Amino acid sequence: MTNTHIIEKKGKMLVPGVVFASPELFEKISQDKTLEQVKNVACLPGIVEKSIAMPDAHQGYGFPVGGVAAFDIKEGIISPGGIGYDINCGVRLLRTNLDKKEFLKKRTFILKELDDNIPSGVGRGSELKLSEKDLNDILLEGANWCLEKGYATEEDISHTEDSGCIKNANPKKVSQKAKARGKSQLGTLGAGNHFLEIQFVEDIKNENVAKTFGLKKDQIVILIHTGSRGLGHQTASDYIQKMERLYGYEHLPDRELACAPLESELGKEYLEAMAAVANFAFANRQIITHNVRQSFKKYFEKIKIEVLYDVAHNIAKFEEFEIEGKKQTFCVHRKGATRSFGPGRKELPEDYQEVGQPILIPGSMGTSSYVLSGTKEAEKISFASTAHGAGRVLSRTKAKQSIIPEQVRNQLKQNNIEIRAGSQKGLVEEAPQAYKDVDEVVKVSDELGIGKIVAKLKPLAVIKG
């Protein structure tokens, strides 16, 4: 199959590896330890069918970023390295009733307002003061807490993956240290590759699906990319240490793949903690949405801002797939990969049932982003998964060594993009040159049929941590 590279099963590999990439992307993927990590994941107990890397894949912790693996629920494992430190890092796309021309008249004012109202960067905390009870309620209820407090609408909830709340969450399984790190961070973007970007719909590739998603040419949309902040990072660290202590790692091809059997007490505890932290991330993106609405309302009285969709790309989920004619439930690890369910899946919002799940693939700062739709083909060949972004090609260290901040600012200015960045460091680490070509990543997804292009988005304003 075109754009498909098979890594044959050998040694301790229980299944083959599969890399979905064009020759150009495969060459970039081959430059770090991604392929080795794909092979390592293929050695994990209970893995089903194949170990997958997406077109944007690059070296990560244990699993590659852009890694997908499904595990048998009786024989399989759960690995924090297969979800990532930023549990439920994800993206949310907001659609508006503004067009590009109207927005540009107020762009500088709105960007400042958003920067004032939405803390970003290292060390900037939230204006929200949460009690211990509030935090535990958020870990349990996710975005539903925001609905109760007036920060969300019913439509926001129904257009969020899992309705913004994963059910088996248990706040008691999240350490006090993790809670202390998250308590002051609700409604904040953070640093790293997180951002808020105001974009316009540059091109529509599928009119029918775009209409269902409420998208039209030159419409202003807002993309939010953030996750569970320090809460998620600490929870991942806590459970990696627990799994190393209880189960060791000598039997694994890589210490970073520390794991626990899904059926074990510790495995279940991690799943409960992961769900609680994921709920915090859903609430985080919801509070940011509320603050976006408040900021725009100051300059556009009749503004209407709706959630098109919100999807996690660092998560493990129990999902049903048909393998060799038999429907089975697996634990699917997606790390830097987006779920891409096709039409008719019960997990999707009612109004998207006929066209499939919205897939949101942001580019690197200053490049295009895309909206795609999920497919039945993805359910067959990639456990309903596709890419989550452009994917790094330079490490943060190499980016800092080779890119100058002014160079990035000038490039953005030439492309008519305004930016507010929390630091010069963040600016160079997340420069477009540090990433793969998102157009090529999305083209591969579309050609394979694991996500079909609906619309292309172009940035006008960016807030970076």
CA distance 125 to 152: 21
64 HSE (CA, 13 A, CB side): 35
Q: Are 103 and 293 in contact (CB under 8 A)?
A: no
User: What is the amino acid identity at position 429?
Assistant: E
Please measure the distance between the N-terminal and C-terminal CA atoms of the chain and give it in whole angstroms: 40
| 186 Cβ neighbours under 8 A, 6+ residues apart | 126, 128, 130, 138, 280, 283, 284, 287
- Sign, CA dihedral 243-78-348-229, equals positive
Q: Are 343 and 353 in contact (CB under 8 A)?
A: yes
361 HSE (CA, 13 A, CB side): 41
What is the CB neighbour count within 10 angstroms for residue 331?
22
Q: Is 225 known to be catalytic?
A: no
CA distance 108 to 99: 16
Nearest to 299 by CA among 54, 75, 102: 102
Nearest to 141 by CA among 282, 352, 316: 282
CA distance 240 to 255: 10
Q: Are 327 and 369 in contact (CB under 8 A)?
A: no
| 429 Cβ neighbours under 8 A, 6+ residues apart | 192, 193, 396, 399, 400
Q: Are 142 and 280 in contact (CB under 8 A)?
A: yes
- Residue of 58, 313, 333, 388 with catalytic role: 388
Active site members: 388
